[in-house]
Structure 1
Amino acid sequence: METSVAPMDNKLQLKSKVVVTITDFGSELQNKWIELKRFKSNVFGIGSDRFRIYIDCEGNEIRHYLCLKHTDELSVDVQYDVFIIDKNQQPFARQRINQKTLDVTENYWSYHLLINKQDLINQTGSLLIDNTLSIAVDMTVHQKYRQSTDGCSWLRTCSSDQLFGVRELCDCRLIVGKDRHEFYASKLLLSCRSEVFAKMFTTDCMEKLSAEVVIDDIEPQVFEQFLRYLYTGRCDQLDDYCQELLVVADKYLVGSLKTMCFNWYSNKISSDNAFKTLKLLQDFGGSDDEELMAKTVDFISRKISSIVGQEIGQQIGIKTQMLNKIKDKIDKIIAKK
Structure 2
Amino acid sequence: MTEKCKISAAMVSGSEERSYVFKVDGYSRAKALLKNGQCVTSDPFSVGGHDWAVEYFPNGYLEDCSDFISVYLFCETADAEDVNAKFTLSVLDKNGEPVPSYNRTSKTVSTFSREGFGEGYDNFVKKADLEASAHLTDDCLTIKCNITVIYEAGTRVPPSNLYRHLGDLLKNKDAADLTIQVGGETFSAHRCVLAARSSVFKAELLGPMEESYAASPIEICDMEADVFNSLLHFIYTDTVPPVLDVVMAGHLLVAADRYNIGRLKMICGEKLCSHIDSDMVATSLALAEQHGFHALKKACLQFLASPSNLEGMMASDGYEHLKSSCPYVFKELVAEILPAELKAAKDIIMTMWK
Between Structure 1 and Structure 2, whose CA radius of gyration is higher? 2
TM-score (norm 1): 0.46
Structure number with the higher helix fraction is: 1
